[in-house]
Chain A
Amino acid sequence: MIVTVDATSKVPPYEQIRSGLAEQINDGALAVGTKLPTVRKLAADLGIAPNTIARAYRELEEAGLLETKGRSGTFVAATGDRTRIRARDAARRYADTAHKLGLSEDEAIAIVTAAIRTS
């Protein structure tokens, strides 16, 4: 999961960062709840102005892909990935059922793995 900025590209740096992060969030490389680097840190890493990173983050936030939790930082938002939310909810329901049936953790995981492989 890396972010790159090409200084020789005609695409503005904020757009390179925005599209790079959006692509990684949409394909699941950056999972829901993943903490992103701070604006200052990413700006220092990429050697560009903090305002450029702030603009990319702001646009991703407006698109619902990122969320800022006060001073805790910026995270990949759950609203940006409905499919994974549904999968996570289904996993929780399954975990509850397995727990009620008295299955061990290893056994429950083995059943899911087998189901995925045979589907």
Chain B
Amino acid sequence: MFFKKKKPLTGKKKDIPEGLWLKCKKCGEILYKKELDNNLWVCPKCGAHFRISSKIYINLLFDNGEIEELDVDMESIDPLGFPKYKDKLKNSKAKTSLKDGVISGKAFIGGFPVAFAITDFSFMGGSMGSVVGEKIARLIRFGREQRLPVIILTSSGGGARMQEGIFSLMQMAKTSAELALLSKEGIPYINILTHPTMAGVMASFASLGDIIIAEPEALLGFTGPRVIEQTIRQKLPPGFQRSEFLLEHGMIDMVVSRKEIREVLISLLRMFNYAGFKSRAS
């Protein structure tokens, strides 16, 4: 006698890791996954923020959890013929059901229309190659043309994507140049920095917001801590390059729990609105 085990139903909750229970990396508490999901993937005991996918962020930030996506069909090619890059892309696509490391589009938050982009760590570390750079640049241009506040959330530990070489490096200049034009039009630009945002992404569009918000304890910086340790041959101080460290050193405006980011954004947009900033009627 034999029977097949029924496969568990997937689809809706695709982005939630396997298994029912999870251990908090910070406090060690064993957490029921459903409870964690209800708590926006913030540990109810210690407040640690679990890394979540771009899709979950979109769901929790925007009205109806919706975004009207732009440039959905853009995909990376392998401009240098770099070792194993094609395989990496293929695997990342399969693993994430994303086409590359960024989603961009128009969304509403508290009724305010915004141009929004989000990088996703699960796609090659959220690194910026030509696709991420181009989609971010187009999104900023879209914000300028539509007079929409631009909000970009980053989870990009990888910085510039090594596998696209100099093309990746130049995306830093490209995205920053678009921000220069946005800035001249007096359109608000807000960064939300999440764990981790480093190197080429941090040293370009992720550091240029009029307002910069970070999730608690996110690793944020230019050089990765391991490389710094190897260079200076010293242990790094506790909390180095974390959100609270950047706040203390004047690099960001505020540290905000994931559970409050939506409300903080709505308040900011309302204040820009009161101050006279108006989106183009759409």
A binds B: no
Residues of B participating in the A interface, judged by any CB pair closer than 8 Å? none
Residues of A participating in the B interface, judged by any CB pair closer than 8 Å? none
